[in-house]
Amino acid sequence: MTKKLLGLLVAAMAVISFGCTDPTASGAQLQFSGADDTVISLATPSVRAIAYPGYNLVTWDPVPNNYGYEVYRYEGNGNTYWTDKKLSDVESNSGGKLYYEDTDVQNGVTYRYTVMARGTLGGSRAIEVADSAVGSATCVGIMPPLNTSALELAAYEGGYKEGVDKEMTVTEEKLKLTRDEIESNIDDGETSADLGRIAVRFNAKAYLDYSMTAVKGNCYDITKIWDKAFGKEYDTVVNNSYLTLNNLDGDGVGIKESGEYTVWVKAAAKNKHYIKADYVQVIKKVTVPELVTQEAPSFTPTFKDANKDVVKISCTKLAYENEELVDKSYYKFYKAEYNTKKYEPVTVVVKEDEAGKYIWEESITPVPDPIKYEYLLVVTDGTRYCKKATAVEFEYTAP
């Protein structure tokens, strides 16, 4: 009996000892803390830190099975004094954010960044995930004078040599402008059609944000492009890599009217303490040919009936100079919530009424509260456009 009890005691101690294994120990994969639960240890993130003028970029490789990441910063001079600061809780999601941009830096200060992959320990799940050990990386901050303009920041890159990094700075000659096509692979030069697009391609800096504006004549009423920061779409930012900006990113429509367009690229520092942005005009201009001399026709949206689940759009017909009618498939409708200018294509069924007008019908989901939309009509065969697009406001109301 005593031997039996002693054997059970030894077995129990072995189970307890195994269950208390450090879940973040290197090489640990699975630990069993009881008959019903399994603990998975996450791999340690591989971390990189790069000091750019005005900000430090911290990136890390994805860790499978994570539930998010915690980013900490330690700062000091050498290893004698460090102060810690939690920078961010980065939520996990497939293909999600794997970087942190730190703009609160000082020149010459050494920063150590740590990243930990979060788990689920402490819950009631049968399979739990332990936090990873921390991965770390170090860099020294670079803070040029605050009156430095965006494109002048290149002179302060680490390892900068006169005439090297300036070759990668945006200038008029280096902005490549295309219309209705973009390079899909810069190495083999293949192109893909993308109607309605004006694109600018250039070498970009990882520490700058870029935006683009297409100006028709002297007015800014055609395509105002929202700021699109280089690197926001990628887990790691590669300095001097090619970036393409295009007018489809602005409002989802792209070209709306015929005419001659001048394109500008704006460069601004990611660190917003640097307020001097640079504007570079593309030397080449884009001419969009005319489909017909008239403006896009006026149109009137209404509800088809009291159910308010179908929007009916009545529109006059356009004709060429020889009186031949413009094909109804050339009429492109878009809509956006009022004042957002973020248009989406409208799926419509085309009909013709007794008065000889075109009728488009759009099925919608009735709304409980009023919502105002702006409908936009662009008339194009994909290459040529009307002289001017037409926009009309319309409010959805409850039935």
Give the tens place of pLDDT for each residue, 150-166: 998 888 887 444 444 55
CB environment 309-323: b (16+ within 10 A), e (fewer): eebbbebeebeeeee
Q: What is the dihedral of CA 29, 32, 38, 44, to 10 degrees?
A: -30
Lowest mean pLDDT among 12-21, 130-139, 250-259, 323-332: 12-21
Fold type of domain 167-288: Immunoglobulin-like (2.60.40)
Which of the 8 DSSP states describes residue 284? Answer: S
Bigger pLDDT: 169 vs 45? 45
State how far the alpha carbon of 239 is from the alpha carbons of 164, 246, 287, 331, 338, in Å. Answer: 13, 20, 32, 42, 38
**C-alpha span between 299 and 179 (Å, rounded):** 29
- Over residues 146-153, the mean pLDDT reads 91
Q: Is the pLDDT of residue 325 over 80?
A: yes
- Over residues 77-90, the mean pLDDT reads 58
Q: What is the dihedral of CA 25, 29, 34, 35, to 10 degrees?
A: -170
pLDDT at 215: 77
Give CATH 2.60.40.10 domain extents, the chain. 18-140, 167-288
Of 224, 215, 222, nearest to 261 by C-alpha is 215
Tens of pLDDT, residues 256-302? 888 888 888 888 998 999 999 998 888 888 888 999 888 888 888 99
Q: What is the radius of gyration, based on Cα positions, of the chain?
A: 29
Fold type of domain 18-140: Immunoglobulin-like (2.60.40)
Tens of pLDDT, residues 347-358? 887 788 777 788
Global pTM reads 0.71
Of 290, 299, 295, nearest to 350 by C-alpha is 299
C-beta separation of 298 from 316 below 8 A: yes
The whole-chain average pLDDT of the chain stands at 75
Pick the CATH number of 299-396 from 2.60.40, 1.20.140, 1.10.10, 3.40.50: 2.60.40
